[in-house]
Amino acid sequence: MERSMIKELKTTVNCIKNYLNKDVLPKRFFNMTQYHIIGYLLKHEGEDVCQKDLEEETGLKKASITGALDALTEKDIVARVQSKDDRRKNYIVLTEKANDFRKKLEERENSFSELITKDISDEEKEIFFTVLQKIRSNVMQTKSEDLAE
C-alpha cells in the first residue's frame, strides 16, 4: 500500500502538538495558535504587524486569529494599537508582560528545534523546507482556484 503524504503530515503535526502541549508550552498558558502568534510577533518586533499578517503566517481563518488575539489581550500579552494613519487598522504588539517570559519561550523553542532536527543534515533540512513550501503553494493555488469557481 502506498504511503499517504496527508496521513504522514497529520500524524507528524499531531505528534508535535502533543509534545508541545505536554512539555513545551508554559503550563497550558497558551494554545498552539497563541504560541505561534507570540513567536511571529517576537520575530517581527518593531515592525507593523496586523491581523491579516497573522492569518497569512498561520494559514488560519480570521475567526481563529481573532479568538487567539482576544485571549492574549485578556492575558495582557498582546495589545491592539490603532494606526495613526488609518483609524480602521490595528497593529498587534507585545506588551511588557510578554517580555517577562520572552527568554523562557525562546529557550524552549530552541531546545525543541534542536530535538526535532537531531541527525538531520543541513541539506535534508533545505529539501524539507522546499517540499513544504511546494505543498503550501499547491494548497494555496487550489484554494484560490476553488474560490474563483
Of 92, 113, 109, 91, whose CA–CA distance to 101 is shortest? 109
Contacts of 21 (CB under 8 A, 6+ apart): 28, 32
Who wins on pLDDT, 101 or 79?
79
pLDDT band at 67 (very low <50, low <70, confident <90, very high): very high
Query: pTM for this structure?
Result: 0.66
| Average of per-residue pLDDT across 10-39 | 77
Who wins on pLDDT, 124 or 29?
124
pLDDT tens, 130-140? 999 999 889 88
How high is the pLDDT of residue 148?
A: 55
How high is the pLDDT of residue 53?
A: 92
Does residue 115 surpass a pLDDT of 60? Answer: yes
Who wins on pLDDT, 88 or 129?
129
Residue 5 to residue 10: CA distance in whole angstroms: 8
